[in-house]
Structure 1
Amino acid sequence: MPEQTPYLTRGPLIAIGLALVAVIIGVAAVRMSGQTIRAPDGEPVAVRALRFEDRPDGSIAVIDARDGVQVESVQGEAGFLRGALRALARERHKRGLGPEQAFELVARNDGRLTLMDPATGQRIDLESFGPTNAAVFARLLKVDNQQAPAR
C-alpha cells in the first residue's frame, strides 16, 4: 500500500498567508508612524552635564559643565565614545547648533544609562551597546568615588 504524505488544503494556506501579510502591514504602520518603541525610562539616580572638546593632540577633553573642570582626557581610538559623540554632533550641525550646551549623562534606577542632548532632543541608550561600551560612559559619572547627585 502506498504511503500517504500529509498536506495542507488550500484554505489553511491562504489563512496563513493573510496572517503574515497582516503582521507585515501592522509592523510597517507602527514603524512609519514615528512612535518610539522602547521601555519607559526609569527614574534618574545620577545626572551629570558634560561637555566634550577635541584637543589638538587628538584627545577628547571631558569637562564637567557645572564647574568647567576637566574630569578626563580620552586618548587613542575610543571608538564607541567617539562614535556616540559624532552622532550627536552631526545632529547639532544639521540644526546649526554649536557645542555650547552640555550633554547629559543619566544613570537610571533600572540600570539603564542614557546620553542625552538637550539641544536637539536626541538620545543614545548606551546599555543597548553592551556593558563594555556602556562602561566607557558610566565611569564619567564618578566624581571622587561618588556619583554625581540626581537632579
Structure 2
Amino acid sequence: MSVEFTNERFPKSALYAAGALITLSIVTVGGIRLGVLPAAETAPQSRERRQVAIVVSRDFRFEDRADGALLATDVAAGKLVFVFPPGSNTGFIRGVMRGLMRERRLKEVDRAGLVKVAQWADGALTLTDVSTGRIIELGSFGSTNRAAFAQLLEPYQPGGPGVPDQPITPAAPAPSSMPFLAGGA
C-alpha cells in the first residue's frame, strides 16, 4: 500500500536551522584563519606558557638496513645505539618515520635529517623533525605506541648509563592473551 504525499512540504524551519549552522561554521573557521578569533592552544604552546622543562632529549637518525632491520643512531655520540631486528614490533616507529620522510620530500629538505625525541617534566613525549619543524605528540597515539619511542630514551634517563657501549636490541613484546588486541587474527 503506497501513501502519496502530494500536499506535504519540508519544514522551512529545518532548512533555516541547517543554513544557520553552516553559516556559523564558515564564519568561525574563517575568523580563526584570519586571526579575528583566537585559535585553541596547542600542546607545545601550553608547555612553553607553563615553562615545562625537558627531562631528557636525544637526537636520533633512523635508517633501514638491507636485511629489514631498523637502526637508530645517536647523533651527538655518533654511535649506533638501537637495532630493531626485522619483524620486531617497530611498525609504529617505521610508520612515523615514513610520514616524516614524505613531508621532507614534499618540503624538499634533507631526507637524512635528525629527529629529536624529548620527554617533558609533565610526562609528555614528543618527536620533533628538526628538518621541517614538525612536532608529534607521541602520547596521542596510545601507551603502546608511545612506549615504542620512550624506549629510545631509557639509557639517557637521569642516573641511567648514558650512551650504550653496544647497540641495544630491544626484546620482542610478550605475546598477548587477546590476539584481536595485538593485531593477530
**Structure 2 length normalisation: TM-score?**
0.62
Counterpart mapping for 1:39-54 below 5 A: 39=43, 40-42=45-47, 43=52, 44-54=54-64
Matched, 1:67 2:51: no
Candidates 114, 124, 127, aligned match of 2:139: 127
Q: CA RMSD in A?
A: 3.1
Counterpart mapping for 1:1-150 below 5 A: 20-21=21-22, 23-29=24-30, 32=33, 37-39=41-43, 40-42=45-47, 43=52, 44-75=54-85, 76=87, 78-143=90-155, 146=158
Once the two structures are TM-superposed, the CA of residue 117 in structure 1 deviates from its matched residue by 0.9
Which SS does the other structure have where 2:59 is aligned? Answer: strand
**Structure 1 length normalisation: TM-score?**
0.74
% of aligned pairs identical? 35
Which SS does the other structure have where 2:152 is aligned? Answer: helix
Whose relative contact order is higher, 1 or 2, with alpha carbons under 8 Å and at least 6 apart?
Answer: 1
Question: What count of residue pairs does the alignment treat as equivalent?
Answer: 139
Cα shift readout 1:17-60 (whole Å, capped 9, x = no counterpart)? 67634542344326755967523353311110001011000111
| Contact persistence 1:84–1:124 (CA under 8 A) | no
Amino acid at match of 2:29: A
With over 3 angstroms needed to count, the CA separation of the structure-2 counterparts of 1:127 and 1:26, relative to structure 1, is farther
Once the two structures are TM-superposed, the CA of residue 114 in structure 1 deviates from its matched residue by 0.8
| Cα distance in 1 between the residues matched to 2:55 and 2:119 | 6
Runs of 5+ in structure 2 lacking a partner? 1-11, 163-185
Q: Structure 1 runs of 4+ off > 4 angstroms?
A: 16-19, 30-37, 144-148
